Amino acid sequence: MSLKDVKGLGKKTLENLNDAGIKKIEDLANSDVKELIKIEGIGKKSAKNFIENAKDLIEESEIDDNIDDQGFHEEFKEEEIETAELSEEEIKKAEEERKKEEERRKKQEEKRKRLEETEIEEGDFILVKITGKTQRGNVFRVSSVEDAKKAGIYDEQKEKQGHYTPEFVVVGKPGFLNEGLMETIEKMKYFEKKSVRIPPVKAFGKRDPAKIERIGLAKFRRMNDGKPPEIGQEFTRQTQQGAQRGTVTNFVQGKVIVDYNHPLAGQNVDYNVEIVDKIEEFDEKIEYFMVNKGIPPDNINDFEKNYIEEDKTLEITIPKMFLFQNMTYLKFGLAMDFQTHMADQIEDVKFIEVYEKMPTPQATEDSVMKKVKEFNKEQEVKDDVEEEQQIEENLEE
């Protein structure tokens, strides 16, 4: 809750209030009419209204907090009824979880009070809610399951992979957001909301005719595992710079038209942006980088992490379920992220893979008996051969 939430305050008035040292709602609510009318653009009637509106907002906020606290405690009361049938150990565990949740809430509230109205700085680790829309109003990017379902783009598998959550961003650093979005965020404050339209040059680039290729049908089939083209299908070709992804857009006179431009290239893009948190804890930063590289959130705790502060070394033990997956690029990318964005804390990154000795399967009784019979049979044959040789030697004598 900030000054801009006070009813009737325009942008210019906000600036004048800030210049006069009134930067919070509490400052305005405790102000005197005589002092306010000295500020440019504020009359006596407006001053009274601003003060009353600020006081009303504070009262509403306190009522909401009381309702939230009451609801929070009512939830725990319901849980207490449910725990009546649990064992002592389970009750103890539930109580510990409850305390952790209360502590987490307190810390979050303290952090919000500390950061509210604070400007974002380059290098900050933040969480951002982003909703992106095309010129036609089609939603292509969301930061919550609810928004994904509203837009009709929800995918259960994507949710499991960590999509539809606030995006992790290191402010002012490449590789997180497009240029226009990053410039917008750099001018924002914590917990601020903003709507912005970004031109093509700072979003997904202008459309480049050189990125449209015409491929003969026979050649396309060879490059497409023998399959014919389909309009709208994704197509990947290998170049000296690496894999290039495009979309089949048309067939013309025996030629397949493949467009390697970004689907939103050449368009203005509308975004709703909200700064929802600042990531300050070392372990949290590590975990968000891991999720950002594609490790499912549910599996993060399966990776054992050990930080050796004196050596500035981070050790990560790969869990068994990931040992036989190709994680070369993921590990390289993670190490680069840690060493680039957390350089003051991390110099070396070690990935530990433990391959435990497989137990030797015990022979079953049937297989043992089978081997005994085979041995006895071989022995009988050997004895017969030796006996025949002995007879032949005796005859020769």
Q: Which of 273, 279, 282 is nearest to 312 (CA)?
A: 282
What is the CA 349 to chain-centroid distance, rounded?
Answer: 21
326 is written with which tokens?
Answer: 């190709």
Q: How many of the other CB atoms lie within 10 Å of CB of 93?
A: 13
Which one is the CATH code of 3-85: 3.40.50.300, 3.80.30.20, 1.10.150.20, 3.30.160.100? 1.10.150.20
Q: How many of the other CB atoms lie within 10 Å of CB of 6?
A: 23
Identify the band that residue 54 occupies on the pLDDT scale cut at 50, 70 and 90.
confident
Identify the band that residue 189 occupies on the pLDDT scale cut at 50, 70 and 90.
very high
Give percent of the chain with pLDDT exceeding 90: 46
For domain 281-352, the CATH architecture is 2-Layer Sandwich (3.30)
74 phi and psi angles, rounded to 5 deg: -65, -35
Identify the band that residue 386 occupies on the pLDDT scale cut at 50, 70 and 90.
low
pLDDT attached to residue 16: 80
pLDDT digits (tens, 9 = 90+) for 100-126: 888 888 988 898 899 988 999 999 999
Supply the mean pLDDT for the chain: 84
Comparing 23 with 251, which gets the higher pLDDT?
Answer: 251
Mean pLDDT on 81-87 = 59
Instruction: For the chain, give the number of residues.
Output: 397
pLDDT attached to residue 67: 46
DSSP 128: E
Mean pLDDT on 65-86 = 54
Q: Which of 132, 133, 165, 121 is nearest to 146 (CA)?
A: 165
Q: Residue 283: helix, strand or coil by DSSP?
A: helix
pLDDT attached to residue 11: 76
Comparing 71 with 247, which gets the higher pLDDT?
Answer: 247
The residue type found at 256 is V
76 is written with which tokens?
Answer: 């725990």
Lowest mean pLDDT among 58-62, 82-86, 95-99, 285-289: 82-86
Is residue 39 scored above 80 in pLDDT?
yes
Q: Do residues 163 and 141 make contact, with C-beta atoms less than 8 angstroms apart? A: no
126, burial (CB in 10 Å: exposed 0-12, middle 13-18, buried 19+) = buried
313 Cβ neighbours under 8 A, 6+ residues apart: 307, 346, 347, 348, 349, 350
Give percent of the chain with pLDDT exceeding 70: 85
pLDDT digits (tens, 9 = 90+) for 331-362: 999 999 999 999 999 999 999 999 988 777 66
Annotated domain spans of the chain: 3-85, 125-203+267-276, 209-259, 281-352
pLDDT attached to residue 339: 96
Q: How many of the other CB atoms lie within 10 Å of CB of 207?
A: 15
User: Which CATH class, in words, describes the domain spanning 125-203+267-276?
Assistant: alpha beta
Q: Do residues 115 and 121 make contact, with C-beta atoms less than 8 angstroms apart? A: no
Mean pLDDT on 245-268 = 92
Q: Do 209-259 and 125-203+267-276 fall under one CATH topology?
A: no
Identify the band that residue 3 occupies on the pLDDT scale cut at 50, 70 and 90.
confident
pLDDT digits (tens, 9 = 90+) for 259-314: 999 989 999 999 999 999 999 999 999 999 999 998 888 899 999 999 999 999 99
Q: Which of 144, 395, 168 is nearest to 291 (CA)?
A: 168
Instruction: Tell me the CA distances in angstroms from 311 to 63, 227, 306, 353, one per residue in order.
Output: 50, 54, 12, 21
330, burial (CB in 10 Å: exposed 0-12, middle 13-18, buried 19+) = middle
Q: Which fold has domain 209-259?
A: Thrombin, subunit H (2.40.10)
Place of tokens 């981070």: 314
